[in-house]
Amino acid sequence: MSTNATGDRQCWRCRQEVTALVCPRCEAVQPFSGEPDLFAVLGLPRRLVVDPVDLEQRYHETSRLVHPDRFQTASARERELSVDASAAVNRAYRTLRDPVALGRYWLTLNGVALGGGQQGVPPALAAEVFAVQEQLEELRAARAEDAPSHRREVSERREEVATRLVRLRGELVELYGADGGPALEDLRQRLAEIAYLQTLLGDIEETLEGGAA
């Protein structure tokens, strides 16, 4: 499989051999068909270990070359290519800088669906999700005099879930750096757990904010 953003080919404008998003000779933005490889878009190899400082630098450099601001006075075709390329660069940066998004993308690249697998949510987590939903329901239904104690309970739960998410994300980054990288099924399960907790945290925050308004 090719790891180039556009596949090996010639620049549409100057016929130079080009593998990147931008022609190294004439700086013309290259078209791509289908989904570009998000690593290649920023000139990176397909690896789960991404250095954030290097990533940001590549993002800024590539954006300078492809951003629509640079092509305001160019032809309609060049303007269109620049928008497409710029959107791809933005997506690449958004995906690679976040370990969770990166993990999900890694699964897609390897043909694994996040919601697939036999087990689904670990039973322990399912029980917890259920317990939290119940707490939230109690807070929503609470009478004025009981609300503060319910609110306190839910706030504590929020802290708990948020801390756990931070820990899980940290573990994910460690896993990426380990020899051989993660097994796909292990990665899938971890990401599924994070996704569940994130939804849960969102629900908690919405309920707390809704009560405050």
Residues of this chain that bind other proteins (CB under 8 A): 56, 60, 63-64, 67-70, 72-73, 83-84, 86-87, 90-91, 93-94
CB of 15 to other proteins, least distance (A): 26
DSSP string of 101-152, one letter each residue: HHHHHHHHHTT--TT-SSS-S-HHHHHHHHHHHHHHHHHHH--TTTHHHHHH
DSSP string of 161-187, one letter each residue: HHHHHHHHHHHHHHHHHSTT---HHHH
Q: ∠ CA(19), CA(22), CA(27), 5° rounding?
A: 130
Between 81 and 197, CB nearer to other proteins: 81
CA distance 96 to 104: 10
CB of 76 to other proteins, least distance (A): 14
CB of 33 to other proteins, least distance (A): 11
CB of 65 to other proteins, least distance (A): 10
CB of 127 to other proteins, least distance (A): 25
Q: Give kind and range of the element (H or E) at residue 160.
A: helix 147-177
Between 39 and 59, CB nearer to other proteins: 59
Between 53 and 124, CB nearer to other proteins: 53
CB of 124 to other proteins, least distance (A): 28
Token pair in block for residue 157 = 């739960």
| Under 8 Å between Cβ of 193 and 201 | no
Provide, for the chain, the percentages of residues in helix, strand and coil under a 3-state DSSP scheme, each rounded to the nearest 5.
Answer: 65, 5, 35
Between 44 and 88, CB nearer to other proteins: 88
Between 95 and 182, CB nearer to other proteins: 95
Between 74 and 142, CB nearer to other proteins: 74
